Amino acid sequence: MQDLIKGKEKLEFENLAAEIVERVEWLGCFGKDPLGGVSRLLYSEEWDEAQKAMKGWMENEGFEVQFDEIGNLSGIVKGNDMSETILTGSHIDTVTNGGLYDGQYGIVAGVLALKYLKEHYGQPKRNLEIVSLAEEEGSRFPYAFWGSKNIVGTVVRKDVEMIKDFDGVPFVKAMNKSGFNFRDESKAPRQDLKAFVEIHIEQGNVLEKEKKSVGVVHSIVGQRRFTIEVTGEANHAGTTPMGYRKDAVYAASHMIYELISLAKQQGDPLVMTVGKMEVKPNIVNVVPGTVIFTVDVRHTDKNAINQFTEMLSKNIVEISQEHGVETSIEMWLDADPVSMDPRIVEIIERQCRNNSLNYKLIHSGAGHDAQIFAETVPTAMLFVPSRNGISHNPAEYTEPADLAEGVKALIATLYELAYIE
Ligand code: HGY
Ligand code: MN
Ligand code: MN
């Protein structure tokens, strides 16, 4: 097997690290948040601008560029056999006050990898495609993986038709405002995808602790997300004795304390997070009538997730009764734990070994579009280290040298998948 990087066509990498940093900083300007980091939520104005800017860059690199119906943006290097496609990419949306690398590093790395391969090896055997996926985080609307699920055809339209963001903006209105609409569900999903390889920051600290530049992911955690709405009774803070209250904050706090204690008892690798909470009417001298909070539960084992979410529901019902409040539990994400494709993992490992890339096999505690593709397309992931394991935070950072090592691994992998195999 030709060793791409050690071979006669040694990649010119002296500028690669600088180019990656320049590009992630450029892309990070679309949604730069005055409170820090990047806030680029699905179908926001900054999301529109970022996708348009990515379209311009991909066109400048000579790719065939197109949006799909819902706003996934693709750049394609056409192959001899156009019936097959090797896909790479990641998500363009961010969390609020997110970092510069989550999602967008995978898009920048993919464009640079296709640019390199096109310039050095010309037309591939099969199509090489980079996709800037519309949405993965689930940060604006109670729905996640919107971009990848539309490509693999697992979206159920009714799951988003009525949803709204926390400001009450309907999903469909936001999508139409950005110029996009539902995909034609009478059409079969794409059948040309022969592999999907996503490169992403680790968002944990294992690679840094073990001084590795590249992670080869073997499996991705499963996760479930819920919105819990606790309805008590808004009342006067001065004239309502403690014994006569239906205090939604008191009830919700009790639920959250019990559930997090339960998660701690369960122990690693189970993790549970209450990341978002809204109190209504949220006024200093009103006993809160309503609390809405989110729950994110993850584990490597599907049964463990099932068991924990059964306990979650049971605890919430019991505590609701104890407080005399009404509680609704709505699950809006249920992503199974998945293993990466062994054949592609082997290719990545071999290319890392042959090209002296300092790598290790690793599990992903973060969810990724790769776990959606993995259900129907041979899929693998590459990681680069996150400093102090920090992510979903303006302090998110990866050393430029590691960013470049990741792109080298991606180039070598895509080369073998699109030019050799
Ligand atoms: O939440 C996650 O695991 C990912 O960053 N969306
Ligand atoms: Mn991500
Ligand atoms: Mn993320």
Is 188 in the same domain as 256? no
Atom of ligand 1 nearest to the CA of 392: 5
Q: Does the CA dihedral 329-333-336-338 come out positive or negative?
A: negative
Residue 9 CA from chain centroid, whole number: 34
Query: For residues 103 and 30, what is the distance between their CA atoms, to the nearest angstrom?
Result: 14
- Residue 189 DSSP symbol: P
Residue to probe by mutation, ligand 1, list 137, 198, 338, 369, most atoms within 8 Å of CB: 137
Atom of ligand 1 nearest to the CA of 144: 6
Question: To 10 degrees, what angle do helices 104-121 and 16-27 make?
Answer: 140
- Cα(275) to ligand 3 centroid in Å equals 13
Which residue, of 335, 360, 381, is where some domain finishes?
335
- Cα(99) to ligand 3 centroid in Å equals 9
- Cα(94) to ligand 3 centroid in Å equals 6
Which residue, of 313, 335, 357, is where some domain finishes?
335
Which residue, of 303, 335, 367, is where some domain finishes?
335
pLDDT of residue 72: 98
Is 363 in the same domain as 387? yes
Residue to probe by mutation, ligand 1, list 368, 383, 390, most atoms within 8 Å of CB: 368
Identify the nearest ligand to the CA of 98 by its number: 3
Range of the domain at 233: 222-335
The answer as to whether 68 is a domain residue is yes
Query: For residues 316 and 318, what is the distance between their CA atoms, to the nearest angstrom?
Result: 6
- Cα(155) to ligand 2 centroid in Å equals 19
**Over its length of 421 residues, how does the chain's per-residue pLDDT go in tens digits?**
344 544 444 445 668 899 999 999 999 999 999 999 999 999 999 999 999 999 999 999 999 999 999 999 999 999 999 999 999 999 999 999 999 999 999 999 999 999 999 999 999 999 999 999 999 999 999 999 999 999 999 998 999 999 999 999 999 999 999 999 999 989 999 999 999 999 999 999 999 999 999 999 999 999 999 999 999 999 999 999 999 999 999 999 999 999 999 999 999 899 999 999 999 999 999 999 999 999 999 999 999 999 999 999 999 999 999 999 999 999 999 999 999 999 999 999 999 999 889 999 999 999 999 999 999 999 999 999 999 999 999 999 999 999 999 999 999 999 999 999 7
Query: For residues 60 and 23, what is the distance between their CA atoms, to the nearest angstrom?
Result: 14
Is 257 in the same domain as 169? no
**What number of CA atoms fall less than 13 Å from residue 217's CA on the CB side?**
33
Identify the nearest ligand to the CA of 367 by its number: 1
Atom of ligand 1 nearest to the CA of 138: 6
CATH number at residue 217: 3.40.630.10
How buried is 236 (Cβ within 10 angstroms: 0-12 exposed, 13-18 middle, 19+ buried)? exposed
pLDDT of residue 14: 63
Query: For residues 233 and 272, what is the distance between their CA atoms, to the nearest angstrom?
Result: 28
CB 363 within 8 A of CB 221: yes
For the chain, how many residues are written? Answer: 421
- Cα(226) to ligand 1 centroid in Å equals 15
The answer as to whether 2 is a domain residue is no
Q: Which residues does a 6 A CB cutoff place in the pocket of ligand 1?
A: 102, 136-137, 366-367
Is 184 in the same domain as 304? no
Residue to probe by mutation, ligand 1, list 40, 203, 333, 338, most atoms within 8 Å of CB: 203
Tokens of 206: 């294992």
Place of tokens 């499996």: 219
Indicate the number of domains in the chain.
Answer: 2
